[in-house]
């Protein structure tokens, strides 16, 4: 019994480092090198877009099955598999001489994050009962810091222009491989928290678990909140730079807006997670989604760079406030034997929103305006709040 405490206390440090190096490695593999590498391989714009899309597709397809498996076979085996993909995928880019080969490689690489996200979240909420929100915040912040540093380091490597050929791009993937080494090593060193034997692993059980996500109105409505949140975030990161360029905002200022926003999310998540451990998480989810939607909705009415920066930070804080509360809330209302399944479903549905956001918002902007495209996320957030209220509170029911 005494040995269980150090395992529990040290686990978060392992996961924070795994999350930091893992996301650093996978992000440096795509931003900014991937479209540049694809173009250098003579890829058309359509192929460049297809290459960029297949990595999130892996998250949509695999996050739920991975979450389901974590409930059946435990966490460590899946994290080791994730570490292996993080380590091996960067090496595959070194052999690429045709852009089409990047499509299966990106899909394979996307499996690493499809495993890491839901499994790490499931481990944290399973181990830390009293302060899971705070621990989730620390983990999420570590991944955001890795995501922030990656484009900077990748850009520096590319700017060296050492070889003057395709190997200038492949140097970035060598760096991604080096960054993935501690990920794989740490997954091997991580002491198992739950090592279930393979049980009840059949198609009927899988479909019943999938049905569990969609039939449980509290779980599904909470997942829809994350879908809407990342719908807005995907639209924000895709179209705000174009909108600001049309307004005559210089590139360095646009970069500053996004840098400040990312840091606001990274540094607020542990604090907001601590709040989620103490207050009604439903209230936190509603407030966060409303702030996010409203701030994005009014961005199309603003052209002053200072106001845009402030609103961008508020948008990031709204996202942080809501998304740290959704997994902690689900961990409390879900069947304890289906924590991994539930959080895997949350991750898959979130990725759907992240993919749909740029696509649908782009259609609205093309046919109408940026203002209406941005405001659409606010309307969607209001719809999400109403659905969440209806599904998670009993005050609309008659006695």
* Averaged pLDDT in 10-residue chunks for the chain of 399 residues: 51 94 93 86 83 83 88 88 97 95 94 93 86 89 89 87 88 96 95 59 75 90 95 87 84 80 87 90 95 94 90 94 93 85 89 87 89 95 96 65
Tell which residue, 207, 200, 213, has the closest CA to residue 72.
200
Q: Which helix (H) or strand (E) segment is 161 a member of?
A: none
The CATH architecture that domain 1-201 belongs to is: Up-down Bundle (1.20)
pLDDT value at position 71? 83
CATH 1.20.1250.20 domain residues, the chain: 1-201, 203-399
**How high is the pLDDT of residue 397?**
52
Find tokens 């509360």 and name the residue: 325
Question: Residues 32, 37, 42, 48: is their CA dihedral positive or negative?
Answer: negative
- Confidence at residue 221, expressed as pLDDT on a 0 to 100 scale: 94
- For residues 24, 377, 383, 352, the Cα torsion angle rounded to the nearest 10 degrees is -40
Taking each continuous run of H as one helix and of E as one strand, the counts in the chain are 15, 0
Distance CA 225, CA 313 (A): 20
pTM of the entire predicted model: 0.83
- 203-399 homologous superfamily: MFS general substrate transporter like domains (1.20.1250.20)
Residue 257: the pLDDT is 84
């Amino acid at each position: 019994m005494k040995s269980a405490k150090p395992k529990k206390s040290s686990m978060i440090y392992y996961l924070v480092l795994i999350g930091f190096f893992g996301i650093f490695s996978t992000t440096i593999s795509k931003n900014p090198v991937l479209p540049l590498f694809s173009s250098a391989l003579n890829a058309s714009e359509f192929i460049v877009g297809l290459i960029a899309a297949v990595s999130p597709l892996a998250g949509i397809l695999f996050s739920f099955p991975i979450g389901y498996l974590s409930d059946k076979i435990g966490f460590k085996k899946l994290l080791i598999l994730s570490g292996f993909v993080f380590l091996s995928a960067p090496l595959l880019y070194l052999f690429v001489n045709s852009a089409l080969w990047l499509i299966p490689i990106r899909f394979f690489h996307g499996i690493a994050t499809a495993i890491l996200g839901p499994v790490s979240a499931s481990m944290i909420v399973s181990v830390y009962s009293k302060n899971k929100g705070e621990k989730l915040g620390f983990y999420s912040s570590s991944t955001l810091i890795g995501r922030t540093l990656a484009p900077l380091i990748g850009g520096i490597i590319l700017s060296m222009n050492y070889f003057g050929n395709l190997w200038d791009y492949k140097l970035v993937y060598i760096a991604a491989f080096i960054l993935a080494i501690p990920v794989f090593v740490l997954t091997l060193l991580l002491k198992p928290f739950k090592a279930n034997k393979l049980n009840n692993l059949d198609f009927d059980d899988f479909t019943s678990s999938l049905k569990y996500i969609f039939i449980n109105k509290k779980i599904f409505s909470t997942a829809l909140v994350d879908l809407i949140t990342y719908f807005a975030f995907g639209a924000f990161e895709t179209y705000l730079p174009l909108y600001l360029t049309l307004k005559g905002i210089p590139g360095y200022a646009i970069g500053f807006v996004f840098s400040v926003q990312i840091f606001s999310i990274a540094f607020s998540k542990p604090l907001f997670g601590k709040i989620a451990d103490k207050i009604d998480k439903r209230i936190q989810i509603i407030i966060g989604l409303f702030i996010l939607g409203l701030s994005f909705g009014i961005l199309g009415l603003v052209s002053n760079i200072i106001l845009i920066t402030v609103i961008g930070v508020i948008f990031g804080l709204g996202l942080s406030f809501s998304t740290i509360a959704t997994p902690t809330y689900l961990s409390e209302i879900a069947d304890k034997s289906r924590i991994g399944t539930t959080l895997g479903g949350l991750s898959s549905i979130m990725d759907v929103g992240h993919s749909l956001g740029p696509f649908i918002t782009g259609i609205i902007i093309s046919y109408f305006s940026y203002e209406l495209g941005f405001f659409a996320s606010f309307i969607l957030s209001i719809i999400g709040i109403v659905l969440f209220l209806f599904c998670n509170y009993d005050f609309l029911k008659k006695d």
